[in-house]
């Protein structure tokens, strides 16, 4: 029996060993595919880049050649024009001299009776033409002599630049680190993997599917970014690169990784007269309507363990303004400063079940964020007898936070969020 047990254990160990080896084989296959795919992509990028470069260089050289040829044409035309005019003048003089010669020869060889008159007329005409006046003809040293000056050092400069143009890197200095699901979004974090690389900016791109093109979603100095407007249960691919301190070119891209969110996006409910909503219904604008009331979320989409964030543009504040969470929607209220709700006023006051706390946060400012975090602290079995369900609430605003326990008389798996503003101009983004 002992030998049978040892044999079974050896068989199970062999199976485990085989599974581990198969997993490592899959890892090797993925690594090999990554090398091949990235090499193919790099070849395509290099070929396309140098093809574009050749086309651009040819276009620039053709444009420069055309410009120089046009310059030669202009100089040639401007230089030959006065020579053409002088030629016409000389040719006219030659024609006049020919006519005068024929007339003179006719007068000398003519009849004796008419000879005196013809000679007199010929002499007068010859004096009038001024046979001693000749047009000025420029010497060769006074006319342009075109030539092209071509500096051969351009080829040396281009050769040196081309030989230094482009690099091939096998290890990007930055890689994606973590994806955190958010309602209608994904929080993407990345980190440097090359300690010697000093990053000035990061560039994050994403695409909805492998068939589409990557597009920029963030450029900046932070090492995380909340990508919004993400469809739930759809896979997205992300990649990141960095730009070194004082440099213009970007580093190689990180290995693309996939992320998704299963959480539906937060949306404000439609139809409340005092508020206008964006097309995605995640932004609410307090309009000029005189109607007051609390704008609630479309559904109870906040779950404990998540972070709910409000980002706002401020208008005129009022002590009844509120941003917060509640157990249920309730029509007729003009603020979340009521029971079964926790909220912060725009002046920084914190309210729990309609009662103001002693601790106060800074006043809400334009562009700042207000966040709500909750975790369950269970006192006993869920019941409707009261005091058996407690949530630990953390509200943060302008780098300060308050933490307190919110006791409820019922279990709450999810909560509504809401806001109320007395005056127009307030705009709130929720995510």
Do residues 157 and 234 both lie within one domain?
Answer: no
Higher pLDDT among residues 397 and 38, named by residue: 397
Stated pTM of the model: 0.58
Q: What pLDDT does residue 384 have?
A: 47
Do residues 6 and 118 both lie within one domain?
Answer: yes
Number of structural domains (the chain) is 3
Its domain, for residue 398, covers 275-430
Span 62-79, average pLDDT: 93
Span 209-227, average pLDDT: 90
Span 307-336, average pLDDT: 93
- Give the orientation angle of helix 2-109 with respect to helix 112-129, to 10 degrees: 140
Span 342-374, pLDDT tens digits: 999 999 999 999 999 999 999 999 988 999 999
Span 223-241, average pLDDT: 93
Query: What DSSP string runs through 23-56?
Result: HHHHHHHHHHHHHHHHHHHHHHHHHHHHHHHHHH
Span 225-229, average pLDDT: 91
Nearest in space to 338 (alpha carbons), one of 348, 325, 414: 325
**Burial category of 385 from C-beta neighbours within 10 Å (exposed 0-12, middle 13-18, buried 19 and up):** exposed
Q: Does pLDDT of 231 surpass 50? A: yes
Which CATH number fits the domain that encloses residue 411?
2.60.120.920
Do residues 337 and 383 both lie within one domain?
Answer: yes
404 assigned to some structural domain: yes
What mean pLDDT value characterizes the chain?
A: 88
Do residues 7 and 126 both lie within one domain?
Answer: yes
Span 382-392, pLDDT tens digits: 544 445 788 99
Residue appearing with tokens 């699901």: 181
Of 232, 261, 290, the domain-final residue: 261
Cβ–Cβ < 8 Å for 207, 191: no
Do residues 26 and 139 both lie within one domain?
Answer: yes
388 assigned to some structural domain: yes
Span 70-75, average pLDDT: 94
Give the pLDDT band (50/70/90) at residue 101. Answer: confident
Q: What pLDDT does residue 35 have?
A: 87
Span 235-243, average pLDDT: 94
Nearest in space to 173 (alpha carbons), one of 200, 190, 204, 197: 197
Nearest in space to 253 (alpha carbons), one of 41, 31, 44: 41
Q: Does pLDDT of 31 surpass 90? A: no
Give the pLDDT band (50/70/90) at residue 204. Answer: very high
Higher pLDDT among residues 154 and 1, named by residue: 154
Of 140, 164, 188, the domain-final residue: 164
Q: What's the Cα-to-Cα distance from 3 to each of 10, 14, 34, rounded to whole Å?
A: 10, 16, 46
Span 311-332, average pLDDT: 93
Q: What pLDDT does residue 92 have?
A: 85
CA distance 239 to 258: 9
Q: Tally Cβ neighbours within 10 Å of residue 372.
A: 22
Of 164, 183, 209, the domain-final residue: 164
Give the per-residue SS3 of 239-256: EEEEEECCCCCECCCCCC
Nearest in space to 355 (alpha carbons), one of 341, 370, 376: 341
Span 155-179, pLDDT tens digits: 888 888 888 888 777 788 999 999 9
- In 3-state terms, what secondary structure has residue 97? helix
Give the pLDDT band (50/70/90) at residue 282. Answer: very high
386: Cα separation from own chain's centroid? 53
Which CATH number fits the domain that encloses residue 225?
2.60.40.10
Do residues 311 and 412 both lie within one domain?
Answer: yes
Q: In this structure, are strands 185-192 and 224-228 parallel, antiparallel, or unpaired?
A: antiparallel
């Amino acid at each position: 029996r002992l030998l049978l047990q040892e044999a079974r254990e050896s068989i199970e160990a062999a199976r485990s060993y085989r599974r581990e080896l198969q997993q490592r084989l899959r890892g090797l296959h993925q690594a090999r595919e990554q090398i091949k795919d990235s090499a193919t992509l790099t070849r395509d990028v290099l070929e396309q880049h140098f093809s574009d470069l050749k086309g651009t260089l040819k276009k620039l050289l053709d444009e420069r050649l055309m410009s120089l040829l046009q310059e030669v044409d202009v100089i040639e035309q401007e230089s030959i024009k006065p020579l053409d005019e002088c030629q016409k003048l000389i040719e006219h003089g030659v024609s006049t001299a020919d006519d005068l010669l024929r007339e003179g020869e006719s007068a000398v060889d003519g009849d004796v009776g008419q000879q005196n008159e013809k000679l007199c007329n010929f002499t007068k005409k010859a004096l009038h033409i001024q046979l001693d006046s000749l047009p000025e003809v420029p010497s060769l040293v006074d006319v342009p002599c075109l030539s092209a000056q071509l500096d051969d050092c351009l080829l040396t400069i281009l050769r040196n630049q081309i030989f230094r143009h482009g690099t091939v890197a096998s290890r990007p200095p930055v890689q994606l680190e973590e994806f955190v699901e958010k309602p209608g979004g994904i929080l993407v974090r990345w980190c440097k993997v090359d300690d010697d690389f000093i990053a000035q900016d990061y560039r994050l791109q994403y695409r909805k599917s492998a068939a589409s093109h990557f597009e920029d979603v963030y450029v900046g100095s932070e090492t995380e970014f909340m990508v919004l407007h993400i469809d739930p249960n759809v896979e997205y691919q992300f990649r990141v690169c960095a730009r070194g301190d004082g440099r213009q070119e970007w580093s190689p891209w990180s290995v693309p990784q996939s992320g998704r969110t299963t959480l539906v996006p937060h949306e404000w409910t439609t139809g409340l007269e005092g508020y206008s909503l964006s097309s995605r219904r995640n932004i609410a604008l307090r309009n000029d309507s005189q109607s007051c009331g609390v704008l609630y979320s479309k559904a109870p989409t906040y779950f404990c363990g998540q972070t709910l964030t409000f980002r706002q543009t401020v208008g005129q504040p009022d002590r009844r303004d509120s941003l917060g969470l509640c157990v249920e929607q309730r029509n007729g209220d003009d603020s979340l400063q009521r029971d079964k709700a926790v909220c912060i006023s725009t002046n920084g006051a914190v309210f729990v079940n309609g009662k103001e706390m002693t601790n106060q946060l800074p006043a809400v400012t334009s562009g700042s964020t207000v966040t709500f975090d909750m975790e369950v602290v269970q006192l006993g079995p869920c019941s409707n007898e009261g005091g058996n369900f407690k949530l630990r609430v953390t509200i943060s605003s302008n780098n300060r936070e308050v933490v307190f326990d919110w006791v409820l008389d019922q279990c709450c798996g999810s909560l509504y969020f809401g806001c109320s503003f007395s005056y127009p101009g307030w705009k709130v983004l929720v995510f």
